């Protein structure tokens, strides 16, 4: 038995979830097709997903093709849930990119294709909705080659496109249908760019056989450099048999070996039952995973141990162990989170922009603050990029990708946790770094404004980029009771949540240089009260600089809109570094503040008559010119 883990990706409303339903139906997993409109699909099991008709959380379903078990990972299509796509790509062997035969190549389609190309992930392109009015074939194929990749090879064709009687026919080099020489010749010419043998046949005027073209397509598809294109309809089932043939014959599967190596895996999703029971989805990358064994998990530089109490292998629920290639759901490890690695860390996933927005959330009903905070921590556990922090005064802030995500979080809090939440308008995320070195000391005092029976001395200095907060001791550990040391360190980390300019302080080294106490008068609360005062004075003396995170962007716009687009970028602090013509369009690459990304994305359709294509990813940060106005991006 071989295993193939594939993802279904698409621009929202291209028919991704409907295609998942059709694949499960055609392979006998379900005996009735679900409907997105009716909220009866298998993978969109969440009530909010059913109501909105969009996929929010990654789901896994399985089917079998002969000796191949296919684990189908249905991923979100909306850009606000790009983190889910990010994690899913890291555990896939291949992908099916779905686009509509009516709407064609849409902006998020191109963003996804760029991520797939960058990862060299073997990908099939499924053109859905051939039965809808306005569906296209030839012109759309030209658009696909121009906007996605010139190395796209159609493996079927359509008759009666744009109507309910649309029918697909396999081209000769894939499947048993009669040969269509022109299509095979066209495919050979595309594949010959990376196949010297095919090129030699064509140069000599020969006719490549269907098996030779098919073999070349399979090799290049597996290498992530050529993309088979299939037309079809998830609603009528047309083209789905050819798609299943391509899944089995063109995407590279993983043979299941013996358990000779140490077990390794990647956690890519967390699920919670209504009862609160927690389960994690892992892709096994090596070895064999069994229950009751003590295992080591890694989260960045940190490691922890856990023991799996139960597991369920996708597509093989009767199996009692999971091996290389399996996707498995496990229970019994309370600390487990998305992004953790079982054993040694695996390959990195695609890099989508992290959240650049922050909102303050409060419960509608007073007194529900603890319940709200606990619910947000649970949601952050399922998606670590939805970060939370407690602000001075007790409010809670949440990191976000966009406004749709905010709406979904609000609905989830109400439906799953019984908390109605109020969200403040979103603001961009900024942070501070120390500009120099600063020290401060305050002695014990029984009277006065800062009357605490504790002596604290602290030094702050810049740390390496990306290091976060590094807390060190320059005093003997035994100079204070351990509880007092904990009080100081906890106060340091809490105080750094809001620096002199009101933003979190990061990439900082804080060193405890002096301590003192008087037994039995001093208590831990004295150190908790004294430490913030000393730390803020040290930061004031060191000085801090406010930074804004930036994205590297790529942008394609029609020629006649170039002036408006560059002016729009400049108004938001964006700066193109590379501008070049590509046919009747212009390609721009440059840097823009992360805070302005969503604003520009909203303006782009108006600036480009809906023709602009945008993608961006994190690219460091830069100082803010006026810290006093940091975060006030024009809406």
Of 501, 571, 599, 595, which Cα lies nearest the Cα of 543?
501
| Residue whose structure tokens are 């003192």 | 516
507 pLDDT more than 80: yes
CA dist., res. 357 & res. 341, Å (int): 27
CA dist., res. 349 & res. 73, Å (int): 15
Please report, for the domain that includes residue 121, its CATH number. Answer: 3.40.50.300
Backbone φ, ψ for residue 547 (5° rounding):
-120, 150
Q: Which of 50-64, 165-179, 412-426, 620-634 has the lowest average pLDDT?
A: 50-64
Q: Write down which residue in 542, 577, 611 finishes a domain.
A: 542
Q: What is the pLDDT of residue 55?
A: 43
Contact 191, 153 (CB under 8 A): yes
CA dist., res. 401 & res. 272, Å (int): 22
Q: What is the pLDDT of residue 269?
A: 80
Q: What is the pLDDT of residue 167?
A: 92
Q: Does residue 347 fall inside a structural domain?
A: no
Instruction: Check whether residue 325 and residue 438 sit in a common domain.
Output: no
What's the pLDDT tens digit per position in 563-574?
Answer: 999 999 999 999
How many domains, the chain?
5
Mean pLDDT along residues 335-339: 82
DSSP 227-257: EEEEE--TTT-TTHHHHHHHHHHHSPPEE--
CA dist., res. 613 & res. 554, Å (int): 8
In this structure, what token pair is assigned to residue 242? Answer: 């050819």
**pLDDT bucket at 175, cuts 50 / 70 / 90:** low
- Which residues constitute the domain of residue 583? 546-629
Instruction: Characterize the bridge pairing of strands 123-128 and 227-231.
Output: parallel
Q: What is the pLDDT of residue 337?
A: 82
Contact 540, 467 (CB under 8 A): no
385 pLDDT more than 70: no
Q: What is the pLDDT of residue 44?
A: 47
Instruction: Check whether residue 14 and residue 154 sit in a common domain.
Output: yes
Instruction: Check whether residue 108 and residue 233 sit in a common domain.
Output: yes
Q: Write down which residue in 498, 522, 542 finishes a domain.
A: 542
Q: Does residue 38 fall inside a structural domain?
A: yes
Instruction: Check whether residue 333 and residue 373 sit in a common domain.
Output: no
Those residues with Cβ within 8 angstroms of residue 366's Cβ, 6 or more apart along the chain or in another chain: none
Of 30, 32, 60, which Cα lies nearest the Cα of 45?
60
Q: Does residue 213 fall inside a structural domain?
A: no
Please report, for the domain that includes residue 364, its CATH number. Answer: 3.30.70.870
For the chain, the C-alpha Rg in angstroms (whole number) is: 28
Instruction: Check whether residue 28 and residue 141 sit in a common domain.
Output: yes
442 pLDDT more than 90: yes
Instruction: Check whether residue 272 and residue 143 sit in a common domain.
Output: no
158 pLDDT more than 70: yes
Instruction: Characterize the bridge pairing of strands 227-231 and 152-154.
Output: parallel
**pLDDT bucket at 80, cuts 50 / 70 / 90:** very low
Q: Does residue 588 fall inside a structural domain?
A: yes
CA dist., res. 600 & res. 556, Å (int): 14
Please report, for the domain that includes residue 462, its CATH number. Answer: 3.30.230.10
**pLDDT bucket at 526, cuts 50 / 70 / 90:** very high
Contact 544, 435 (CB under 8 A): yes
Q: Which of 39-43, 335-339, 341-345 has the lowest average pLDDT?
A: 39-43
CA dist., res. 207 & res. 184, Å (int): 9
Contact 143, 104 (CB under 8 A): yes
539 pLDDT more than 70: yes
Mean pLDDT along residues 211-233: 94
Q: What is the pLDDT of residue 596?
A: 84
Share of the chain above pLDDT 90, in %: 46
Contact 371, 417 (CB under 8 A): yes
449 to 169, 458, 530, 533: CA distances (angstroms): 84, 20, 11, 11
| Residue whose structure tokens are 């619910």 | 375
**pLDDT bucket at 434, cuts 50 / 70 / 90:** very high
In this structure, what token pair is assigned to residue 121? Answer: 């992930």
Q: Does residue 616 fall inside a structural domain?
A: yes
Instruction: Check whether residue 145 and residue 16 sit in a common domain.
Output: yes
Q: What is the pLDDT of residue 342?
A: 92
Q: Write down which residue in 397, 429, 461 finishes a domain.
A: 429
CA dist., res. 81 & res. 431, Å (int): 24
Of 617, 616, 613, which Cα lies nearest the Cα of 147?
613
Q: What mean pLDDT value characterizes the chain?
A: 84
Instruction: Check whether residue 463 and residue 523 sit in a common domain.
Output: yes
CA dist., res. 255 & res. 258, Å (int): 10
Q: What is the pTM of this model?
A: 0.70
Please report, for the domain that includes residue 624, its CATH number. Answer: 3.30.70.240
CA dist., res. 9 & res. 58, Å (int): 11
Q: Does residue 348 fall inside a structural domain?
A: no
Those residues with Cβ within 8 angstroms of residue 446's Cβ, 6 or more apart along the chain or in another chain: 453
Quick count: other Cβ atoms within 10 Å of Cβ 610? 11
Instruction: Check whether residue 9 and residue 79 sit in a common domain.
Output: yes
Contact 232, 243 (CB under 8 A): yes
Q: Where is pLDDT greater, at 283 or 380?
A: 283
CA dist., res. 142 & res. 420, Å (int): 49
Q: Does residue 207 fall inside a structural domain?
A: no
What's the pLDDT tens digit per position in 340-368?
Answer: 889 876 554 434 445 667 889 999 998 88
Instruction: Check whether residue 291 and residue 417 sit in a common domain.
Output: no
Instruction: Check whether residue 62 and residue 166 sit in a common domain.
Output: yes
Instruction: Check whether residue 65 and residue 135 sit in a common domain.
Output: yes
Quick count: other Cβ atoms within 10 Å of Cβ 194? 15
Give the rounded distance of the alpha carbon of 333 from its chain centre.
Answer: 23
CA dist., res. 19 & res. 36, Å (int): 11
Of 462, 442, 447, 473, which Cα lies nearest the Cα of 537?
442
Mean pLDDT along residues 441-459: 86
What's the pLDDT tens digit per position in 84-118?
Answer: 556 667 788 999 999 999 999 887 788 788 888 88
Q: Does residue 210 fall inside a structural domain?
A: no
DSSP 3-state assignment of 512?
Answer: strand
């Amino acid at each position: 038995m071989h295993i193939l883990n594939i993802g279904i990706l698409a621009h929202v409303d291209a028919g991704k979830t409907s295609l998942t339903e059709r694949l499960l139906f055609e392979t006998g997993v379900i005996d009735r097709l679900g409907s997105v409109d009716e909220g009866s699909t298998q993978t969109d099991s969440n009530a909010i997903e059913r109501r909105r008709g969009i996929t929010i959380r990654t789901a896994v379903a399985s089917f079998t093709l002969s000796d191949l078990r296919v684990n189908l990972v249905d991923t979100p299509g909306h850009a606000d849930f790009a983190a889910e796509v990010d994690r899913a790509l890291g555990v896939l062997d291949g992908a099916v990119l779905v686009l509509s035969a009516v709407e064609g190549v849409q902006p998020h389609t191109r963003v996804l294709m760029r991520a797939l190309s960058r990862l060299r992930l073997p990908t099939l392109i499924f053109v859905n909705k051939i039965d809808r009015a306005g569906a296209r074939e030839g012109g759309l194929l030209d658009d696909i080659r121009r906007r996605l990749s010139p190395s796209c090879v159609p493996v079927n064709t359509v008759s009666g496109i744009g109507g309910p009687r649309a029918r697909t026919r396999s081209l000769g080099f894939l499947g048993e249908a009669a040969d269509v020489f022109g299509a095979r010749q066209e495919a050979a010419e595309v594949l010959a760019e990376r196949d010297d043998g095919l090129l030699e046949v064509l140069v000599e005027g020969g006719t490549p056989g269907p098996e030779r073209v098919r073999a070349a397509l399979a090799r290049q598809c597996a290498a992530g450099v050529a993309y088979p294109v299939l037309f079809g309809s998830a609603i009528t089932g047309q083209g789905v048999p050819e798609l299943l043939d391509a899944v089995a014959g063109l995407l590279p599967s993983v043979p299941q070996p013996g358990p000779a190596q140490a077990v390794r895996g990647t956690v890519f999703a967390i699920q919670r039952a209504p009862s609160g029971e927690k389960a994690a989805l892992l892709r096994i990358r090596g070895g064999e995973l069994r229950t009751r064994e003590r295992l080591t998990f890694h989260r960045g530089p940190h490691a922890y141990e856990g023991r799996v109490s139960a597991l369920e292998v996708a597509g093989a629920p009767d199996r009692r162990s999971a091996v290389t290639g399996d996707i498995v759901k496990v229970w019994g490890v309370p600390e487990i989170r998305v992004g953790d690695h079982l054993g040694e860390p695996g390959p990195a996933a695609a890099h989508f922009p992290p959240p650049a927005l922050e909102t303050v959330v409060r419960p509608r009903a007073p007194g529900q603050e603890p319940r709200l905070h606990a619910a947000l921590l649970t949601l952050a556990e399922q998606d670590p990029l939805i970060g939370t922090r407690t602000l001075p005064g007790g409010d809670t802030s949440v990191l976000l990708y966009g406004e749709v995500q905010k709406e979904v979080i609000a609905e989830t809090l109400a439906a799953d946790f019984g908390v109605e939440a109020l969200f403040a308008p979103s603001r961009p995320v900024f942070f501070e770094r120390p500009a120099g070195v600063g020290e401060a000391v305050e002695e014990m005092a029984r009277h006065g404004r800062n009357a605490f029976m504790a002596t604290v001395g602290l030094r702050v200095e810049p740390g390496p980029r990306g290091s976060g907060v590094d807390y060190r001791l320059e005093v003997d550990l035994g100079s204070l009771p351990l509880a007092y040391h904990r009080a100081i360190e906890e106060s340091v980390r809490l105080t750094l949540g809001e620096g002199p300019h009101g933003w979190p302080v990061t990439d900082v080294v804080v060193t405890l240089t002096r301590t003192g106490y008087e037994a039995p008068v001093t208590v831990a609360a004295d150190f908790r009260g004294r430490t913030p005062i000393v730390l803020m004075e040290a930061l004031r003396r060191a000085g801090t600089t406010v930074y804004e995170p930036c994205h590297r962007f790529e942008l394609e716009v029609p020629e006649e809109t170039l002036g408006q687009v560059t002016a729009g970028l400049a108004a938001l602090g964006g700066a193109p570094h590379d501008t070049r013509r590509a046919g009747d369009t212009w390609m721009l690459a440059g840097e823009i503040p992360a805070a302005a990304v969503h604003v520009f994305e909203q303006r782009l359709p108006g600036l480009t008559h809906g023709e602009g294509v945008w993608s961006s990813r994190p690219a460091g940060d830069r100082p803010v010119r006026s810290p006093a106005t940091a975060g006030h991006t024009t809406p």
